[in-house]
Amino acid sequence: MKHLLLLLLCCLSLTAAAQPWRQMKTLDDAPFLHNKAYQKGNKYQRDAILFVDMLADTHPYYAKRARRDSLLSTQPALLKACGKCKSDSAFSQLLYGVLGRLHDKHTDLMDTVTYGVRLREKMAQKAAEPVSHDEGIMARHDALFDYTLLPEHSLCYLQLNQCADARTQRDASLPRFDVLLEEMFGAIDSLGIATLVVDAQYNNGGNSGLCTELLLHLCRAEQLRDFTTYLRFSRLMEMYNPGVATVRQQWEAEGHADEMYSRPTPPMPPIEGQKIYGGRVVFVMSERTYSSAGMLMTLARDNHIGTIVGTTSSFPPSHYGEVLPYVLPNTGVFGTVCCKYFARPDVTHLEDEALEPDVRLDLTDKAAAWQYILTHYGK
Q: What are phi and psi of 271, to 5 degrees?
A: -100, 115
Q: Domains plus CATH for the chain?
A: 140-377 (3.90.226.10)
Q: Is the dihedral of CA 273, 277, 278, 283 positive or negative?
A: negative
pLDDT of residue 151: 97
User: What is the per-residue pLDDT across 136-175, written as a single tens digit (0 to 9) for each?
Assistant: 999 999 999 999 999 999 999 999 999 999 999 999 999 9
Mean pLDDT of 253-259: 88
Interior angle at CA 354, CA 347 and CA 356, nearest 5: 95
First to last CA, the chain: 56
User: What is the per-residue pLDDT across 54-90, written as a single tens digit (0 to 9) for each?
Assistant: 999 999 999 999 999 999 999 999 999 999 999 999 9
Radius of gyration of the chain (CA): 23
Mean pLDDT of 9-34: 66
Bridge partners of 109? 335
User: What is the per-residue pLDDT across 336-369, written as a single tens digit (0 to 9) for each?
Assistant: 999 999 999 999 999 999 999 999 999 999 999 9
Is 82 within 8 Å of 45 (Cβ atoms)? yes
Q: From CA 235, how far away is CA 332, in angstroms rounded?
A: 19
DSSP strand pairing (145-150 vs 155-160): antiparallel
Across all residues in the chain, what is the average pLDDT? 89
- Which helix (H) or strand (E) segment holds residue 177: the answer is helix 177-191
- Residue 35: alpha-carbon gap to chain centroid: 36
Mean pLDDT of 250-274: 87
Mean pLDDT of 177-192: 98
